[in-house]
Structure 1
Amino acid sequence: MTKFSEEIKSLIDESGETIQSLAKIGNLDRTTLQRIKSGERLPTKEFFGKLCVALRLSSAEKEILLELYEIEKWGAQCVDNRKKIIALIETITELTEQGIQFSKEMSKNETPHSDNNDAVTHTIITNEAAVLRTICNAIDRELFTNDHPHLQMFIRGEKEPVYNHIFQRMIGNKKHLVLEDVIHLPKASEGSTTAHYLTTLKSVISISVLKNVAYQSNYLYYSESGELEHSALFPYYILTSDRTLTLSSDFKRLIVYDNPDIHELYGDDFSSLLETTDSFIIESRNLYEIFGLDQVRVPKQFMNALPAIGVYFTKELIESKANKQLPHYEFLLEAIISTYAQYQKDKSAITTYFSLDYLRGFVFGQCIFFPPDMCHPFTREEGLMFLEKTRDDLVNGVITAYAMSDKLKANYGFFEILQTDDAIRLVLHYDDAEEVIFKAIELKEKSIIELFDDFFKYLPKSDYVLSQAETITQLNDMIEAVKFTQQT
């Protein structure tokens, strides 16, 4: 028996019901229920829901059973990867929406870790746990003893504990950190290794949102052989203001140097890496750069505050809404028109996941995504037109769109995720004091794209979205509400 069927058997036994009585209570097929209990088959989503009702499960019990069900159906690694993407989305919302509610101050007289390497020219560490502990000690030493801490790192992308340590130290901290890194990503990876990249991505984005961290992040893909050309034994390193930590590829050996000449040598190498690698996180108010308008790439999957209303934008409408005072207005306008024209051509190939709350706000004249200095609000009449066209195309099967449910704790007005054939592009746009911050992260690693592709394909089968029928009903209700307000 599987863990899922064992849990089903346990719940049925605890309920005091027989297969026959439970089938009658839930209007379930008795033979199917018996086979599910014995582990011979899995229930359908509808059968699973009815069974949970018949067993009178609490929300917590249902979530536990649902996870076992999904693990049995898709595999533990697949379920774990999806949970990591959900955690990434919810973390972005938490950090951009709520801000940091506390502060802490690092003192030169108090450190959380002991550091016994102060007077040592170099120290060799040969244990993986000790390597991580030494890295954390070095980071803490930099943060605690320097008025202007500065870290430079070239490490593998799956080493999330290092980034999480920096995030935990800096969240709510009064000190300001300058952080520069080059994240080394593989061209191909699989299984748990790829899952680590998702966790690292969450920590990296979290760090980038902190106001007290000036963060420049670049990336470098592995060579075809998976090796680095300039150093085979200790290819990775971390630089503090005065120390050099060199790391082996397997992260099990580390050498700490307290030598200015070595520090300068690695500093020069890091500068060269920055010059020859591309930005991993881009922060700019240049929308052309943020949205990657240098080439038209139609998304296959699109998680956004709004459904794919861009497919209904005309050239005249775009011209009337874009602020003509924007830098490079003509250049930007041409790129937007070309992009939306391609969206219109390929709209049947795009699946969008959107927020009903933001769509409602958009229809009633709120600025979504862009502040008023970039884009003029749409009128209620224009909003109604978008609603009706979206509804009609959805009913007729011309487009595919799902409204997100409340299960996913996300603020869709602060981010969007686009999946194309060759990239995942995550765009953040959130308020910071009196301006909107725009950031873009693009991932081209094939296995990570496949994880997001799996996540998006899973959404319509999950409780995170409404069905298309429910989505259409919500759009109809919204259309009626808009028409009613026009009459009053």
Structure 2
Amino acid sequence: MSKFSEKCKELLIENGYNVYRLSQAASLERTTLQRMVTGKRLPGPEFVEHFCQALRISLPEKKEIMELYKMEAIGETAYRNQTTILHLFEKLSALEKNEGFNKRSIVDYGEMKLISPISNDKYETELLLQYVLRKTIQEQESPELYTNLPGTDTLLPHYLNLMIPQYGKAILIKHLIHFQTNASYAYENLETLHQIIPLCFSAGINYIPFYYYSKLSRNDRPNLLYPFYIITEKYVLQLASDLSKGILHSDPAILQEYTKEFQNCLEHSSPLLQQSKNLDEALQLYMTSFDTIQDITSLDATPCDSDFMDNEYFFDRVKEHSPEYAPFMNAYKSFLNVINQANRNDFFTINGFQKYCEYGISSGTSSIVIPKFSPEERITSLKYFLEHFSNENHHMLNSTFSYPDSLYIELRNNHSLFLINLADKANISFIIIQESSICNAFSEFFQLLADSEYITPENQTRTLIQKYIRQLKQLTFGITP
């Protein structure tokens, strides 16, 4: 029996029913119910909803049942990966709304004095971490920090984003991250993105992560003696496996040895990503190896530029509004020709689409090089999109799907993941990840997303496009629908 069927059977008994009595009382098909609670066959989601309503279970219990159902339907690993990616989008969306990529609250900690180089609880350890970071950023002209903290740790990113604006300095961080080799634990590798991506998108932080594979799991950590560390020019902070205890060293000989060994570790690891915070360099990176693209999946707030307008019109707009990027256009034209021949699967959000229709604000490349689209241009682009729309490779995500407006994601050939934060010309962050477990997880995520409850049906998508065309015509030309 599966976890799902065991939980269903448990709830059935707890509420004083058996299969026969519940099927009679709630008009549930008895054979389907019997097969569900014995784990012989998985019913449809509507049947499970009816089952929960019939038992009058609490909302937390219903949530647990539906989670177990999804886990059973797509597999536990796929479910964990999907959940982890959805939570990542929710986090990035929340950061964007709070201007978290570019602004942070400045907190004055006052003068910190070192009472003891040894901490015995989490509060004292956090003070040690604050002390090291504050001294490093305050005293070093070009501060650097090396660490192997778990990629899921939140303390370091939290305090960095508080202190960096306070001193107006940039800090270099080299981060050595442990990745799981077991595919069943790939979601742990994905969870590191919750800290890595915000750090890459943060102003004032030059973040360079490296990774290596190991069979050590989280369950092995309690058996390791102070396995984590933070190295700066003047300090080494050793940390216990649960980060509850710390030992601070300032002996130059210890610092030198730790720094040397850290560099040796980097030589046996791999860079996790390529990145750029410069638009020119980002465009060049984006168009690398484009001649090998066969499959491409994208996720953006609005539909792809090439779905809104033909290439020549796009190039004319770039020359008009951003002539400095005209030299890139020949290479970009070749790139688009390859993209148009590839197998494409594009996702966009209904919120981003409505913002484009109502205000002319696009996302993707056009938001950087082209100003707002006029109502006339929106009418033309929507007509073009409607003419080329296909539900096989265009998917509108409904309002329950949380996603930041400034983020563009592209997966090429299932082994190169591009993440681009496009705030404006001065604030662009470009990342390429080619680690296999992360790319495979995103590939599977997109496959599941295309058949999920987040997808707006094709007829509703077409109706919405037509509605905005009519509204824009009325606004622009006074034509009554």
Tell me the alpha carbon deviations over residues 162-194 of structure 1, each in whole angstroms, 9 at most, x when there is no partner: xx1112324545634643233446798333653
Q: Give the drift of 1:350.
A: 1.4
Structure 2 unaligned spans of 5+: 217-225
Tell me the alpha carbon deviations over residues 169-224 of structure 1, each in whole angstroms, 9 at most, x when there is no partner: 2454563464323344679833365323322221122234445xx21122445599
Tell me the alpha carbon deviations over residues 124-168 of structure 1, each in whole angstroms, 9 at most, x when there is no partner: xxxxx99x9998665322134453473421537x5432xx11123
Structure 1 counterpart of 2:416: 423
1:408 aligned onto 2:404:
no
Q: Give the drift of 1:463.
A: 2.4
Contact 2:172–2:205 at 8 Å: present in 1 too?
yes
Work out which of the residue numbers 427, 438, 445 in structure 1 matches 2:428. 438
Work out which of the residue numbers 260, 276, 280 in structure 2 matches 1:282. 276
Say if 1:195 and 1:37 are closer, same or farther in 2 by CA, change over 3 A: closer
Matches within 5 A, 1:50-199: 50-52=50-52, 61-99=61-99, 103-109=106-112, 115-116=116-117, 139-145=129-135, 147-148=138-139, 150-155=143-148, 158-161=150-153, 164-173=154-163, 175-176=166-167, 178-184=170-176, 189-191=181-183, 194-199=186-191
Q: Give the drift of 1:408.
A: 2.7
Structure 1 counterpart of 2:337: 341
Work out which of the residue numbers 449, 457, 464 in structure 1 matches 2:447. 457
Q: What SS class does the counterpart of residue 419 from structure 1 fall into?
A: strand
Say if 1:19 and 1:309 are closer, same or farther in 2 by CA, change over 3 A: farther
Aligned-partner Cα distance in 2 for 1:263–1:429: 39
Q: Give the drift of 1:92.
A: 1.1
Q: Which stretch shows the higher mean deviation, 47-56 or 311-320?
A: 47-56
Contact 1:306–1:354 at 8 Å: present in 2 too?
yes
Say if 1:102 and 1:26 are closer, same or farther in 2 by CA, change over 3 A: farther
Cα RMSD (Å): 4.5
Say if 1:167 and 1:55 are closer, same or farther in 2 by CA, change over 3 A: same
Amino acid at match of 1:105: D
Aligned-partner Cα distance in 2 for 1:324–1:74: 49
Percent sequence identity is 20
Structure 2 counterpart of 1:330: 326
Contact 1:367–1:377 at 8 Å: present in 2 too?
yes
Structure 2 counterpart of 1:353: 347
Say if 1:193 and 1:52 are closer, same or farther in 2 by CA, change over 3 A: closer
Amino acid at match of 1:107: G
Aligned-partner Cα distance in 2 for 1:55–1:481: 47
1:32 aligned onto 2:26:
no
Say if 1:372 and 1:407 are closer, same or farther in 2 by CA, change over 3 A: closer
Contact 1:139–1:240 at 8 Å: present in 2 too?
no
TM-score norm. by structure 2 comes to 0.76
How many residues align? The count is: 455
Structure 1 unaligned spans of 5+: 119-128, 227-233
Q: What SS class does the counterpart of residue 331 from structure 1 fall into?
A: helix
Structure 2 counterpart of 1:231: none
Contact 2:35–2:41 at 8 Å: present in 1 too?
yes
Structure 2 counterpart of 1:122: none
Q: Give the drift of 1:87.
A: 1.6
Greater helix percent: which structure? Answer: 2
Contact 2:411–2:443 at 8 Å: present in 1 too?
yes
Q: What SS class does the counterpart of residue 307 from structure 1 fall into?
A: coil
Amino acid at match of 1:355: T
Aligned-partner Cα distance in 2 for 1:482–1:210: 38
Contact 2:409–2:420 at 8 Å: present in 1 too?
yes
Aligned-partner Cα distance in 2 for 1:58–1:244: 50
TM-score norm. by structure 1 comes to 0.75
Q: Give the drift of 1:449.
A: 0.6
Tell me the alpha carbon deviations over residues 84-125 of structure 1, each in whole angstroms, 9 at most, x when there is no partner: 2112111111112223685532233467xx64259xxxxxxx
Q: Which stretch shows the higher mean deviation, 21-30 or 334-343?
A: 21-30
Q: What SS class does the counterpart of residue 192 from structure 2 fall into?
A: helix
Contact 2:5–2:39 at 8 Å: present in 1 too?
yes
Aligned-partner Cα distance in 1 for 2:14–2:97: 43
Contact 1:151–1:238 at 8 Å: present in 2 too?
no
